[in-house]
Amino acid sequence: DLSGSITTPDVKLNLGGEFIKESTATTFLRQRGYGWLLEVEDDDPEDNKPLLEELDIDLKDIYYKIRCVLMPMPSLGFNRQVVRDNPDFWGPLAVVLFFSMISLYGQFKVVSWIITIWIFGSLTIFLLARVLGGEVAYGQVLGVIGYSLLPLIVIAPVLLVVGSFDVVSTLIKLFGVFWAAYSAASLLVGEEFKTKKPLLIYPIFLLYIYFLSLYTGV
């Protein structure tokens, strides 16, 4: 028979080259098999992402696309094709919702109408573009149509000021519709359509007329 006593040695942890002596309680828990209670999990970098990154929202990218739509002239040097080639959802949705908010006039039904027209109007343009031989995805059409509502948002406060002048108001409305339609058509109607361009430009123009009618109550 063997008998005797074993003196518990001091247990030291090696942290970064420095030895730290464990407390008696820590040593006791480790000897009884409860050392797992002392383990601390390292934070996973994937769990600490900012909310905007989690939702895949790039504010700089959205701001750049807004500038591309509001300033569609090629001479300004913007890479406007990024609006079509790198589509996103949150930017166009924000534009459509903002347009809905300024179109309320106390009638909340218009919000659902504008969102519905955005979704199904974009679907119509997408189907027509594919029938005519265009290589475009529905997400691209949805993004371009949504962003191109920005010119109508820009002319909205002007219409409030000159609303009593019918001729000036009509001219501003036409300018806003042409501006929006040009921004969208210049991105969606490519060279692959050749002689069929008017068949796609015309429904895009009509779509923005309908958007404006929802705002003005025509």
Q: Would residue 25 count as lying in a domain? A: no
Q: Would residue 113 count as lying in a domain? A: yes
Q: Would residue 163 count as lying in a domain? A: yes
Query: Is 2's pLDDT higher than 80?
Result: no
pLDDT, position 17: 47
Q: Would residue 13 count as lying in a domain? A: no
Q: Would residue 16 count as lying in a domain? A: no
Mean pLDDT of the chain: 78
- What total number of domains does the chain contain? 1
Name the residue with tokens 């534009």. Answer: 95
84-131 per-position pLDDT tens digit: 888 888 888 888 888 888 876 656 567 788 888 899 999 999 999 888
Q: Would residue 24 count as lying in a domain? A: no
Q: Would residue 7 count as lying in a domain? A: no
Predicted structure pTM score: 0.69
127-184 per-position pLDDT tens digit: 998 888 888 889 989 999 999 999 998 988 888 888 778 888 889 999 999 999 999 9
Q: Would residue 1 count as lying in a domain? A: no
**pLDDT band, very low/low/confident/very high, at 13 (cuts 50, 70, 90):** very low
Residue from 124, 133, 143, 149 nearest 187 by CA: 143
Q: Which domain holds residue 204?
A: 56-216
Query: Is 66's pLDDT higher than 60?
Result: yes
